[in-house]
């Protein structure tokens, strides 16, 4: 059956149907609705999770940890995926967010919402400055520069008395406005932040800003010729990325009610978030979600072998880089995209297939890729 429809399309293709814009627009609107339906389903599952019978606080706590990683990974993916700049220093922004909120909570007894906003803004501001400083760096140099930033932040929290080094800062139980929240409440706070961050990323990517990011990634020269201000957009990318990761840092501190330089003073966070987006995929919104689950759940799943998680992470990373360089999300999304491309082609919309798998079918019907 599948074969026949394929052949039918190829038979028609020598004389493609006339360009019918309304049909294409309808099809694309349908795809969009399907996307949203998928997202809403995932969201509904996440909302319902703590209410399931038998789910206890510590399970909600574990999933909240995953969510926090996903938020941090969304932040770094703005930078890595859409502007093509590699950052090995995002743990620095995580730390800035965490310490900002922790100090505010300690000295001013603020709640978690103010913590989130101020932690995010502080990280975003530092990100803005860093964007300006690293304006001319790219590729490996950018990686080294951001790594230096992570070490710098680590040294500061280790040695400046305000941050209380390895002693750490203990935080009172978490509050939203004046209500204290437990593990399940915290789970919902994290989920809300994730939903907002994902919605924001979605909108940003599909706006002129996202286009400008990708333009700078693909060709700086052509982007500037088209009027994209390189300085402006690179600093915007850095600030947004840092803002999101900073919020993840705030949550990361509050979920355990304690922060210390033992956790934030080294660069493993930076590496972990980067691994999450590389494994999951960075230029797709599902990428950080899959990557975040992978990075956090791997040690849990290995149980007593958790010490080997680092090695296994490395192995998976290498395998992904070899077999799915665009990330797992890209591979999982492929059948859906192929199906949609086929529907579009049926509607007379020219489809050019880059995939080598298609070459065989093209050879059978050579006229298929030829467009007038």
The binding site for other proteins (CB under 8 A) comprises: 16, 19, 21, 200, 203-204, 207-212, 214-215, 217-219, 221-230, 232-233, 236, 344, 348-354, 371
By C-beta, is 232 or 256 nearer to other proteins? 232
CB of 19 to other proteins, least distance (A): 5
Shortest Cβ 147–other proteins spacing (Å): 26
| Nearest distance, CB of residue 209 and other proteins, angstroms | 4
Q: End-to-end CA distance of the chain, in Å?
A: 29
**Residue 173 vs 359, nearer CB to other proteins:** 359
Closest approach of Cβ 212 to other proteins, in Å? 6
CB environment 28-66: b (16+ within 10 A), e (fewer) = eeeeeeeeeeebeeeeeebeeebeeeeeeeebbbebbbb
Question: Given the complex with other proteins, which of 195 and 209 has the nearer CB atom?
Answer: 209
Query: 214 vs 317, which CB is nearer to other proteins?
Result: 214
Instruction: Kindly tell me which of 31 and 61 has the beta carbon lying closer to other proteins.
Output: 31
How far is the C-alpha of 101 from the C-alpha of 87, rounded, in Å?
Answer: 23
Classify 180 as helix, strand or coil: strand
Tell me the closest approach of the beta carbon of residue 262 to other proteins, in angstroms: 37
Q: Residues 6 or more apart from 282 whose CB is under 8 A from it?
A: 76, 77, 80, 81, 82, 288, 327
What's the rounded Cα separation, in Å, for the pair 171 and 103?
Answer: 9
| Contacts of 347 by beta carbon, 8 Å cutoff, 6+ apart | 17, 20, 23, 24, 27
3-state secondary structure of 175: strand
């Amino acid at each position: 059956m599948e074969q026949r429809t394929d052949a039918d399309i190829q038979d028609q293709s020598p004389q493609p149907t006339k360009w019918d814009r309304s049909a294409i627009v309808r099809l694309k609107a349908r795809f969009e609705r399907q996307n949203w339906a998928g997202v809403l389903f995932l969201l509904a599952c996440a909302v319902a999770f703590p209410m399931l019978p038998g789910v206890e606080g510590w399970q909600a706590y574990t999933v909240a940890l995953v969510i926090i990683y996903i938020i941090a990974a969304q932040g770094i993916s703005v930078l890595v995926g859409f502007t093509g700049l590699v950052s090995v220093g995002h743990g620095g922004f995580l730390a800035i967010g965490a310490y900002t909120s922790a100090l505010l909570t300690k000295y001013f007894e603020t709640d978690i919402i103010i913590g989130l906003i101020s932690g995010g803004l502080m990280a975003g501001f530092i990100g803005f400055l860093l964007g300006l400083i690293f304006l001319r760096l790219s590729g490996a140099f950018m990686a080294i520069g951001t790594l230096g930033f992570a070490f710098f932040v680590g040294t500061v929290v280790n040695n400046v008395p305000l941050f209380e080094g390895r002693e750490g800062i203990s935080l009172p139980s978490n509050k939203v406005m004046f209500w204290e929240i437990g593990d399940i409440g915290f789970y919902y706070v994290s989920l809300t932040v994730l939903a907002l961050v994902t919605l924001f990323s979605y909108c940003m990517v599909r706006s002129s800003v996202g286009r400008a990011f990708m333009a700078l990634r693909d060709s700086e020269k052509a982007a500037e010729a088209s009027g994209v201000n390189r300085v402006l957009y690179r600093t915007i990318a850095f600030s947004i990325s840092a803002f999101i990761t900073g919020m993840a840092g705030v949550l990361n501190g509050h979920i355990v009610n304690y922060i210390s330089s033992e956790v934030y003073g080294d660069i493993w966070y930076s590496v972990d978030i980067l691994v999450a987006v590389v494994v999951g995929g960075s230029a797709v919104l599902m990428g950080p979600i899959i990557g975040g689950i992978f990075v956090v759940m791997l040690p849990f799943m290995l149980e007593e072998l958790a010490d080997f998680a680092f090695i296994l992470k490395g192995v998976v990373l290498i395998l992904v880089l070899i077999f799915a360089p665009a990330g797992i999300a890209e591979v999982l999304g492929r059948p859906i995209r192929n199906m949609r491309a086929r529907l579009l082609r049926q509607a007379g919309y020219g489809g050019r297939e880059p995939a080598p798998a298609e070459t065989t079918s093209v050879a059978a019907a050579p006229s298929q890729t030829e467009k007038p």
